Amino acid sequence: MGRRLTAAPGLLPRDFFDRPVLEVAPDLLGCVLRHETPDGAVAVRLTEVEAYAGETDPASHAFRGMTARNAVMFGEPGHAYVYFTYGMHFCVNLVCGPAGVARAVLLRAGRITAGTALAAERRRAGRAAGRDGQERDLARGPARLCQALGIDRALDGADVCAPGSPLQVTGATLAGPGVSAGPRVGVSHGAEEPWRFWITGDPTVSVYRPHVPRRRARA
C-alpha cells in the first residue's frame, strides 16, 4: 500500500492529504478522528474507509461536476465534506489532493477511543431505540460514525488540519494486523473497483452490502 507520510502521532499536516486518494485512504486506517463540542469530545480510531475519485468515478458525488453540495470536494485538501442522505443520515469525507480535482475518502467506521459515554448518549437520542448497546457498534457504519461524533452539515468545509479546529485527525502507525481491500458498499456504479480499505479482522468494520435499487414508495 502507499507509504505513510506521517507515522508520528500528532495533527496530520495538509501534505498528508495532498496525495492521490488511493494512497491517503489506506494510510488513514489507524488514525484518530476527534470532534470537540461544548458537550465534550469524542474520538474514533478509523478502521474502514472508501476512496472516491471525483470526475472519473461514477460512484462519486462529483462525477457530474461541481454543485453546491459537493463544492468542498473540489477545494483544498484536508477539509471535511459532509453530506446528508436518505432523509436522515450524515456521512463525512476528508478531501484529498491533488488540488483542483474532486477526491475524497469516506470514513465508514471506527472504534471509539474517547468519549464513549457521550457517543452512546448521542446514539440513543438520535434513534428511537437503537438496540446496539455494544461499544463496537457505536461507530460501525458511516452514518453511525457521524452520529456518535455529532457531525452534521455545520462541519461541511471544516479544516481538519487547523490547530484550533473542532474536528481534527491525528496520525498513528498501524502495527499488527494488515490492511484489506475490496469493493465499496452500496454504490450502484463503479462497484467493481476495490477502493474500500479496512483493518483486517477488526470487529468494528461494517458489513458489506451490495447496492440495491430502492422501490418507489407506494402512493
Is residue 110 within the footprint of DNA (CB under 7 A)? no
74 binds DNA (CB under 7 A): no
- How far apart are the C-alpha atoms of 135 and 128, rounded to whole Å? 18
Decide whether 168 or 204 has the Cβ nearer to DNA. 204
Q: Which of 2, 13, 182, 186 binds DNA (CB under 7 A)?
A: 186
142 part of the interface to DNA, by CB under 7 A: yes
Could you tell me the three cell numbers for 151? 457531525
- Nearest 5°: the CA angle 35, 60, 165 is 20
CB atoms within 10 A of CB 123: 18
When the beta carbons of 7 and 154 are compared against DNA, the nearer one is: 154
Interface positions, 52-71, toward DNA (CB under 7 A): 52, 59-62, 64-65, 67-70
Q: Does 192 bind DNA (CB under 7 A)?
A: no
Nearest residue (CB) to DNA, 176 versus 213: 213
* DSSP string over 78-134: TBEEEEEETTTEEEEEEE-SSTTS--EEEEEEEEEEE-HHHHHHHHHHHSTT-----
SS3 at position 199: strand
Q: How far is CA 168 from CA 34, 41, 118, 157, 182, in A?
A: 5, 11, 18, 13, 27
| Stretch near DNA under the rule CB under 7 A, chosen from 22-30, 40-48, 127-135, 163-171 | 127-135
Smallest distance from DNA to CB 136, Å? 12
The region of 20-28, 168-176, 183-191, 197-205 touching DNA under the rule CB under 7 A is 183-191
CB of 190 to DNA, least distance (A): 10
149 part of the interface to DNA, by CB under 7 A: no
182-195 in b/e form (b: 16+ CB < 10 A) is ebbbebeebeebeb
Contact status: 104 vs DNA (CB under 7 A): yes
* Residues sharing a CB contact under 8 Å with residue 127, sequence separation 6 or more, in sequence order: 147
User: Interface with DNA by CB under 7 A: which residues?
Assistant: 50, 52, 59-62, 64-65, 67-70, 73, 81, 83-89, 91, 93, 104, 106, 123, 127-132, 141-145, 184-188, 206, 209, 211-218
